[in-house]
Chain A
């Protein structure tokens, strides 16, 4: 085969190889997602959660959709997560999401970008510290008396049944005396 007829083949192979490598490189070029949360938030008060999406070289990524997620906690076990909302990055790669927390404590918020051809999916998690606010439900009874709870009920019931047992004990004594009398009569 002459060298001249191999050139198109080699070019095609090289082109394919370059295309593959560039795509793979793009796939491998994971962007960076930097979260900017306020140091503290308050229940019932709106706060702004910020995020910045940059490509591997540090350039901002514009027009990317970032979704914000929070865990769902029920009966002290984390079952799932809920989507809080989404925001789109601007020319500086910044996205702002307005969020009103309804529960105090540490809230781990995860921000995700689904990725595109040019960049891979990425996510980041940061904890938002939420303090109780005026809208918080404070779980305290209006009247707090030490011991005025189910323990009092148990005490009352237990005391009553205990006295029943005392009465039954005296009845048992009656029965024992009767048995003794019967034996004495029988012996006589």
Chain B
């Protein structure tokens, strides 16, 4: 018969492991944070050069005026959507394997949204005029929709993240509040909002979480669709397609799932959560990844077959550019490692293991970044006038700021891990208690007999 550990014992172990990073900081953490800070500082210097000398220090010019920054902006918006989508869908469907995943997914969303907004600031030559977007933005412009959408989505994601965090913040308040530093003690006390776990509080919090779980899905989908409209509402041949909305949403879920897998693998290893983040979780997310890989393959095939059949206008130039022009290396890399290899790794039994799925997730994100780059730069590569084809190549400034953005993304998650548990402890405890109760009920007709056999006290 399956050995079942006592709930109380499991609970204590889970709490200990989940709260361990909040109690003490390892040398590895400091080293990693230090390295990320160094990269960010170097990015700060690059930004200073850009502010001082203007956007001329980048590879962007009059014909290719969007490059690495906007590609990364689109990539991170996609990543954020993937995180939210997974968390919300799993919560809504009450998938039993959701509990160790939701926290990681929500952290990715918050961090990715902040970094995405920062890349917009990098792309602006006059960052002091950023509020003009709010003051003078035209209602008819997709850029205005995107600005308001981003603000709304960020606010919703933070609220969604925080609501599910309240019981865990109360746990931190009770278990480590006395030994934590004064700022963290204050944070735990204030943001736990007096949580005691009473039935009234659970009911109220449950309603709030349900509202946000349902609401955040259309907000996330809308946000990424609106981001795609920045391109699709133009008259550029390669962007002017009705497919962009669903294409961006599908790509977002695809790359977001990959990032969740990567983060979960790191947390599992770093915080010894092997018992709670099991290979089964990776397998299910891997299947999710494979499914969306097939969806993306379908979208790409549809796009190229339909466009290639007609080769109308400048589309032929764009397709030539992608298949055997100056964007060919990125395009074929994206196709092979971003679309074809990941589902193979996930579905082929010999590679369908934790390591294989994590490798697939990494390849997905590399491929999806290249795909975003092809969309942004490839679309601008098609000349609207009889000029020579522009050639865009990011400069050291752009690469430095890109690295700084990526480092910032990792650092935000690192900082969050010092404030909140890496897994949703209260949800996992609730789930284990519910499972234990079900096991007791199913095990024997008598309650006493069941208790004796399993060692679990019935409520």
Contacts and interface: CB of A to CB of B under 8 A. Distances in A.
B246 to A, nearest CB: 19
A179 B219 CA distance: 33
Contact of B208 (A150, A170, A181): A170
Contact of A170 (B145, B196, B207, B219): B207
A117 B19 CA distance: 101
Nearest to A185: B196
A182 B194 contact: yes
A16 B456 CA distance: 132
Interface stretch (B152-160, B309-317, B326-334, B423-431): B152-160
Contacts of A48: none
B156 A177 contact: no
B159 A174 contact: no
Interface stretch (B65-73, B198-206, B357-365, B442-450): B198-206
Interface in B150-178: 152, 155-156, 159, 163, 166
Interface residues of A, number: 22
B159 A168 contact: yes
Contact of B201 (A150, A160, A167, A178): A178
Contacts of A164: 155-156, 159, 212, 215
Label chain B's interface by main secondary structure.
Answer: helix
Nearest to B190: A175
Nearest to B153: A160
Interface residues of B, number: 26
A171 interface: yes
Given A160-B152, A167-B212, A170-B211, A178 B194 contact: yes
Contacts of A173: 204
A178 B139 contact: no
A173 B198 CA distance: 12
Contacts of B208: 167-168, 170-171, 174
B148 interface: yes
B336 interface: no
A137 interface: no
A166 B211 contact: yes
A164 B215 CA distance: 9
Nearest to A154: B139
A45 to B, nearest CB: 31
B156 A171 contact: no
Contact of B194 (A149, A166, A167, A177): A177
Contact of B139 (A150, A174, A177, A179): A150
Interface string A155-188: 0110011011011101101110111011000000
B193 interface: yes
A24 interface: no
A171 B200 CA distance: 11
B211 A174 contact: no
B193 A171 contact: yes
Contacts of A166: 211
B195 interface: yes
Interface string B124-159: 000000000000000110000100100010011001
A164 B148 CA distance: 15
Contact of B215 (A153, A163, A171): A163
A178 B195 contact: yes
A153 B207 CA distance: 27
A169 B193 CA distance: 13
B139 A153 contact: yes
Contacts of A168: 159, 208
Contacts of A163: 211, 215
A163 B219 CA distance: 12
Contacts of A160: 152, 156, 215, 219
Please indicate which of the listed interface residues A157, A166, A174, A178 has the most CB atoms of chain B within 10 Å of its own CB.
A174
Interface in B7-36: none
Contacts of A174: 166, 193-195, 201, 204-205, 208
Interface of B: 139-140, 145, 148, 152, 155-156, 159, 163, 166, 193-196, 198, 200-201, 204-205, 207-208, 211-212, 215, 219, 222
Interface of A: 149-150, 153, 156-157, 160-161, 163-164, 166-168, 170-171, 173-175, 177-179, 181-182
30 contacts: A150-B139, A150-B140, A153-B139, A153-B148, A156-B222, A157-B148, A157-B152, A160-B219, A161-B152, A163-B211, A164-B155, A164-B215, A166-B211, A167-B215, A168-B159, A168-B208, A170-B204, A170-B208, A170-B211, A171-B193, A174-B166, A174-B194, A174-B204, A174-B205, A175-B193, A177-B196, A178-B193, A178-B195, A178-B201, A181-B198
